[in-house]
């Protein structure tokens, strides 16, 4: 976060021109003008900040890294939820790992077939801050069909019964700190064990433009556990490079060949980004990404 006095001659003694800045690497950064710092707490895992910005509403950052903004969160949360749920035959029990802001849970619970949506978030401070300062994003956290666990997702999956979920959604931070284990081949193999036949995992997989992360390794770890691995992309203005990717993996289900159009039509009435055309289109990859994922993603 950088500050600069912009008007030192004003009788009120000037005012602070506050900016949030996320440095994506040594050359590139994102800056948002900040009206107020609403909340800042150091948890056992990370610093949780809530800022009120001029252009993107309230935002949540963890250790200074962008997680959620009120203005563009719908893109990420709609795509990571509706894509797997609308190609699964009948999703009844869903597990969300991470996702303590509640946005993914909100979208998962738009599906009437979902009898129970379990969220496993490592940091209770994230859940508390979201409930208090991001009421719409966090609305899924208070839903009667939601079950919230504050625990490490790696341990939670390891401790879950075989075949106990239809869809697992990994809505994690980057592969640093507590999030590292959520990108490993061993973790994805455990995820496969807890999925029922016809099960699907959907995992956030970083930006296709990000060179600091070995994207082929990230998708390769999914490929270690599942027969079918596909990359999906979408545009999120406040995420690194404004372009994001998600991994879709299943042994049997194709990511867009059999979209349940009746359910999709119902969901499309509630969404601002998701529709069945963008669902299918999001798996059409640009050549540079096909080259990067050759051999690990079936659509590369
Ligand atoms: N959409 C965001 C993104 O792509 O950067 C992620 C949002 S969500 C807030 C990420 C959550 O994952 C954080 O609240 C973080 O505490 C949680 N998390 C990180 N490592 C975890 C772990 N091992 N088990 C469970 N939750 C974890």
pLDDT in tens, 200-222: 999 999 999 987 778 999 999 99
Q: Which of 101, 171, 214, 260 is catalytic?
A: 171
- Ligand 1: does its nearest atom lie under 6 Å from the Cβ of 300? no
- Ligand 1: does its nearest atom lie under 6 Å from the Cβ of 103? no
Q: How large a percentage of the chain has pLDDT more than 90? A: 90
What is the CA(144)–ligand 1 centre distance, in A? 22
What is the CA(178)–ligand 1 centre distance, in A? 8
Decide: 126 and 138 in contact? Cβ < 8 Å.
no
Report pLDDT for 262: 96
pLDDT band at 86 (very low <50, low <70, confident <90, very high): very high
- Ligand 1: does its nearest atom lie under 6 Å from the Cβ of 181? yes
224-228: average pLDDT? 98
Closest residue CA from atom 20 of ligand 1:
179
What is the CA(134)–ligand 1 centre distance, in A? 16
Q: Is the pLDDT of residue 13 over 60?
A: no
Report pLDDT for 16: 61
- Ligand 1: does its nearest atom lie under 6 Å from the Cβ of 264? no
Testing ligand 1's pocket by substitution, the residue of 125, 179, 204, 242 carrying the most ligand atoms inside 8 A of its CB is 179
Report pLDDT for 245: 97
What are the Cα distances from residue 164, in Å, to 42, 111, 181, 290? Answer: 34, 18, 21, 34
Per the DSSP assignment, residues forming a β-bridge with 230 are 248
Q: Is the pLDDT of residue 1 over 90?
A: no
- Ligand 1: does its nearest atom lie under 6 Å from the Cβ of 123? yes
Token pair, residue 59, equals 């935002």
Testing ligand 1's pocket by substitution, the residue of 173, 188, 204, 237 carrying the most ligand atoms inside 8 A of its CB is 173
Report pLDDT for 17: 82
pLDDT band at 25 (very low <50, low <70, confident <90, very high): confident
Report pLDDT for 212: 74
Report pLDDT for 210: 83
Is 152 assigned a catalytic role?
Answer: no
- Ligand 1: does its nearest atom lie under 6 Å from the Cβ of 102? no
Report pLDDT for 15: 54
Mean pLDDT of the chain: 94
């Amino acid at each position: 976060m950088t500050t600069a006095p912009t008007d030192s001659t004003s009788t009120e003694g000037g005012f602070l021109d506050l900016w949030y800045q996320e440095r994506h690497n040594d050359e590139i950064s994102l800056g948002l003008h900040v009206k107020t710092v609403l909340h800042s707490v150091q948890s056992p895992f990370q610093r949780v900040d809530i800022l009120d910005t001029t252009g993107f509403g309230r935002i949540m950052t963890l250790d200074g890294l962008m997680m959620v903004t009120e203005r563009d969160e719908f893109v990420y949360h709609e795509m990571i939820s509706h894509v797997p749920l609308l190609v699964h035959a009948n999703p009844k029990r869903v597990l969300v790992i991470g996702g303590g802001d509640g946005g993914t849970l909100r979208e998962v619970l738009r599906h009437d077939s979902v009898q129970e949506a379990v969220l496993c978030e490592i940091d209770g401070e994230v859940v508390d801050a979201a409930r208090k300062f991001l009421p719409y994003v966090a609305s899924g956290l208070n839903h009667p069909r939601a079950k919230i666990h504050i625990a490490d997702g790696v341990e939670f999956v390891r401790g879950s019964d075989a075949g106990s979920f239809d869809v697992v959604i990994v809505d994690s931070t980057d592969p640093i700190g507590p999030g590292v284990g959520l990108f490993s081949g061993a973790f994805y193999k455990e995820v496969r064990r807890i999925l029922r036949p016809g099960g699907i995992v959907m995992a956030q997989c970083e930006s296709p433009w990000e060179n600091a992360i070995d994207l082929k390794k990230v998708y390769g770890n999914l490929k270690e556990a599942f027969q079918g691995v596909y990359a999906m992309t979408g545009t999120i203005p406040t995420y690194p490079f404004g372009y994001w990717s998600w991994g879709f993996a299943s042994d049997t289900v194709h990511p867009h060949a059999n979209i349940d159009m009746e359910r999709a039509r119902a969901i499309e009435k509630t969404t601002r980004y998701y529709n069945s055309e963008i669902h299918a289109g999001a798996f059409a990859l640009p050549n540079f990404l096909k080259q990067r994922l050759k051999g690990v993603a079936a659509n590369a």
